[in-house]
């Protein structure tokens, strides 16, 4: 059996755990939680599904399985030009605002399901989407791929599509918040701020103005990133390119 590593294929003995996982990985998405989501999709429920997980954990695969007649929104998409992935660290802020704006446009048009495919390692990263879903009367579901390797940096380094190395994934794992619930993300006291923002100037206008981050992104967005991964510059561009994708 062959598995794709970083820009190459490597041989994997058929009796290794990884070989078994590769052959049967589809089974790991058939958890009871995912099956319930499938049923809600079939029933036509208005769903905003927020996926989270480290690079290579299976988010995008799960998103494709859940998509149905809906739309998958990933900040990653901002950096694809003519089919090529061209990450520019200086555009990361704009990319997140762009993804939030198109998500808002979809839920305002009653599209379902709308699936957010970002890493979402911390609760505050999901806050804009959770608020948006509540604002437009969607059922918001937080979902992680239930793959056996989802917290195994070595395996994730092999599987992820942006060639993020093991060491960088280990840093992301160290900051990964576990057991996140909707209640831990969303509180009524936060709702007014977002509602005022939703009815005011569009996100695109703020992108063009290139102002500093305000809601719907968390006020500690850049501080949290730079504390964990260093200054936002060309040297760390590869790290930042995968943090949310």
Three-state SS letters, the chain? CEEECCCCEEECCCCCHHHHHHHHHHHHHCCHHHHHHHHHHHCCCCEEEEECCCCCCCHHHHHHHHCCCCEEECHHHHHEECCEECCCHHHHHHHHHHHHHHHHHHHHCCCCCEEEECCCCCHHHHHHHHHHHHHCCCEEEEECCCCCCCCCHHHHHHHCCCCCCHHHHHHHHHCCCCCCCHHHHCCHHHHHHHHHHHHCCCHHHHHHHCCCCCCCCCCCHHHHHHHHHCCCCHHHHHHHHHCCC
Specify if 213 maps to a domain: no
Distances (CA, A) of 122 to 68, 71, 176, 195, 238: 27, 23, 6, 22, 19
Question: What six digits make up the tokens of 120?
Answer: 């979402």
Specify if 166 maps to a domain: yes
Q: What are phi and psi of 107, to 5 degrees?
A: -70, -30
Specify if 234 maps to a domain: no
Closest CA to 132 of 219, 244, 206, 48: 48
- Burial class of residue 109 in the structure, from the number of CB atoms within 10 Å of its CB (0-12 exposed, 13-18 middle, 19+ buried): exposed
Specify if 146 maps to a domain: yes
Overall domain count for the chain:
1
Specify if 180 maps to a domain: yes
Query: What local confidence, expressed as pLDDT, does residue 24 receive?
Result: 38
Q: Residue 105: give its domain's CATH number.
A: 3.40.50.300
Query: What local confidence, expressed as pLDDT, does residue 186 receive?
Result: 81
Query: What local confidence, expressed as pLDDT, does residue 86 receive?
Result: 86
Q: Do the beta carbons of residue 75 and residue 94 sit within 8 Å?
A: no
Closest CA to 69 of 103, 50, 42: 42
Query: What local confidence, expressed as pLDDT, does residue 45 receive?
Result: 97
Q: Do the beta carbons of residue 74 and residue 245 sit within 8 Å?
A: yes
> Residue 176 sits in which domain range?
41-186
Specify if 198 maps to a domain: no
Query: What local confidence, expressed as pLDDT, does residue 231 receive?
Result: 55
The pTM of the full predicted model, rounded to 2 decimals, is 0.69
Specify if 115 maps to a domain: yes
Question: What six digits make up the tokens of 116?
Answer: 């957010």
Specify if 210 maps to a domain: no
Q: Do the beta carbons of residue 96 and residue 30 sit within 8 Å?
A: no
10 Å Cβ neighbour count for 226?
A: 14
Distance from C-alpha of 43 to C-alpha of 34, rounded to nearest angstrom: 14
Query: What local confidence, expressed as pLDDT, does residue 136 receive?
Result: 97
Query: What local confidence, expressed as pLDDT, does residue 99 receive?
Result: 97
Q: What is the pLDDT along the chain (245 residues), one digit of tens a residue?
A: 444 433 333 333 333 343 334 333 445 666 889 999 999 999 999 999 999 999 999 999 999 999 988 999 999 999 998 888 888 888 989 999 999 999 999 999 999 999 999 999 999 999 999 999 999 999 999 999 999 999 999 999 999 988 889 999 999 999 999 999 998 888 655 444 433 344 334 444 433 433 333 344 444 545 555 554 455 555 555 444 445 44
Closest CA to 64 of 54, 49, 85, 79: 49
């Amino acid at each position: 059996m062959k598995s794709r590593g970083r820009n190459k294929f490597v041989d994997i003995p058929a009796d290794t755990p990884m070989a078994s996982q590769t052959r049967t990985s589809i089974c790991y998405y058939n958890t009871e939680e995912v099956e319930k989501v499938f049923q809600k999709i079939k029933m036509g429920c208005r769903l905003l599904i927020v996926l989270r997980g480290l690079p290579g954990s299976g988010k995008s695969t799960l998103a494709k399985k859940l998509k149905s007649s809906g739309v998958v929104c990933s900040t990653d998409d901002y950096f694809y030009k003519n089919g090529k992935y061209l990450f520019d660290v200086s555009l990361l802020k704009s990319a997140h605002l762009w993804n939030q704006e198109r998500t808002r446009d979809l839920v305002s048009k009653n599209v379902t399901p709308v699936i957010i495919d970002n890493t979402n390692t911390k609760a505050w990263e999901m806050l804009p989407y959770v608020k948006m879903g509540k604002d437009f009367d969607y059922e918001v579901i937080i979902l992680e791929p239930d793959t056996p390797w989802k917290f195994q940096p070595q395996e994730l380094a092999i599987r992820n599509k942006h060639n993020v190395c093991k060491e960088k994934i280990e840093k992301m794992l160290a900051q990964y918040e576990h057991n996140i619930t909707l209640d831990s993300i969303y509180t009524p006291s936060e709702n007014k701020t977002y509602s005022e923002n939703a009815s005011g100037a569009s996100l695109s206008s703020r992108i063009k103005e290139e102002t500093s981050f305000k809601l719907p992104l968390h006020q500690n967005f850049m501080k949290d990133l730079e504390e964990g991964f260093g200054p936002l510059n060309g040297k760390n561009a590869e790290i930042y390119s995968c943090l949310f994708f």
